[in-house]
Amino acid sequence: MIGRVRILIVEDDAALASGIARILEGEGHAVDVMAKGEQAVLGARQERFDLIILDVGLPGIDGFEVLRRLRAAGDRTPVLVLTARDALDDRVHGLDLGADDYMAKPFAMPELAARVRALVRRSQAQTGPKIVHGPLVLDTLARRATLEGAPLDLAAREWAVLEVLLARVEKIVSKESIIQAVANWGEELTPNAIEVYVSRLRAKLDPSGIRIRTVRGFGYMLEEYKELHAGQ
């Protein structure tokens, strides 16, 4: 459901870089590969990318420095940071510097591909008024939803919960964070109330193959839409 996007891979390990590049090309994306940080900073300045996959451990200036320079220059391109270190500090540091996601090496390619899709979708959703998820379209300006082209009736709270889940496809969203995003100021919402909204959403969306998974005792996850689920 996402169009062809331009992706910049900044990775000094040639084998890994070419592996990632070929997999993403296989998904229909246009991919550039650079091995040095300085080169990446210049490249991102000259051309527009939809996503940058950035390794931390680069020769010369490292990935964090590249990220810092990009953000300092006002570049808001989504960045997925790759690190070979597993220190939590790396993740926190990267996210602080403005990374959008983080993966530790080694990783499974399907997971990388899914994260790439999610990041691109998110950035596209942020730029346009319409959120598209398979057969579901949310027009955030007109506040109208359609499912398989037909108008979809959503109560205000259901809309709010769905928006939170749509912003984080394939990510686990805790009930607490849904409550925080949905509740009006000074209002008390119980986790039970969230359960009610989610079950109503499921009743409306499930027939079209849109799945909201329950993570027992924690929260929910909106699955990536797969044509397979639609059963058509």
Partner 1 sequence: MLLPPVAALLVLGAIGAYYLALDPANEAYDQALIDVAIALGERIRVNGGDLGFDLPGAAEQVLRTDRYDTIYYLVRRPDGTRLAGDAGLPAPPRGAVPEDSVIAYDGVYHETDLRLVAMLVPCGGRTCTIQVAETTKKRRLLASNIALSGIVTSAVIALLLLGLVWIGVKRGLTPLEDLSSEIRARSARDLQPIDSARAPEEARPLVAALNQLFGRVEEASANQQRFLANAAHQLRTPLAGLQAHTELALSHDFPAAQRAELEQLRTSTIRTARLANQLLALARAEPGGSRGDVVAPANLRAVVEEVVDEWVHRAMAKEIDLGFELADASVVGDTLLLREALANLVHNALEYSPPGAHVTVRTGVRNQRPFLEVEDEGPGIPAGERERVLERFYRTAGTPGTGSGLGLSIVREIAAAHGAAIEIGAGEGGRGCKVGLTFPHG
Residue ranges binding partner 1 (CB under 8 A): 13, 15-16, 18-20, 22-23, 26, 55, 57, 82, 84-88, 104-111, 170-172, 174, 213, 215-218, 221
Minimum Å distance from CB 74 to partner 1?
30
Query: Cα–Cα distance between 2 and 204 in angstroms, integer?
Result: 24
Q: Closer to partner 1 by CB, 138 or 175: give it.
A: 175
Structure token digits, residue 29: 């994306």
Q: Closer to partner 1 by CB, 19 or 139: give it.
A: 19
Minimum Å distance from CB 90 to partner 1?
10
Minimum Å distance from CB 112 to partner 1?
8
Identity of the amino acid at 66: V
Q: Closer to partner 1 by CB, 147 or 194: give it.
A: 194
Query: Cα–Cα distance between 181 and 165 in angstroms, integer?
Result: 11
Nearest-CA neighbor of 52 among 210, 37, 60? 37
Q: Closer to partner 1 by CB, 138 or 179: give it.
A: 179
Query: Cα–Cα distance between 172 and 7 in angstroms, integer?
Result: 25
Which residue in the block uniquely carries the two structure tokens 């403005």?
Answer: 98
Query: Cα–Cα distance between 45 and 34 in angstroms, integer?
Result: 14
Minimum Å distance from CB 142 to partner 1?
33
Identity of the amino acid at 89: D
Q: Which residues contact 5 (CB under 8 A, 6 or more apart)?
A: 29, 30, 50, 51, 120
Q: Closer to partner 1 by CB, 32 or 224: give it.
A: 224
CA-atom Rg of the chain in angstroms: 19
Q: Closer to partner 1 by CB, 46 or 216: give it.
A: 216
Minimum Å distance from CB 137 to partner 1?
26
Query: Cα–Cα distance between 131 and 136 in angstroms, integer?
Result: 8
Q: Is the bond preceding residue 106 a cis peptide, omega within 30 degrees?
A: yes
Minimum Å distance from CB 155 to partner 1?
28
Q: Closer to partner 1 by CB, 154 or 169: give it.
A: 169
Which residue in the block uniquely carries the two structure tokens 């986790």?
Answer: 191
Minimum Å distance from CB 98 to partner 1?
20
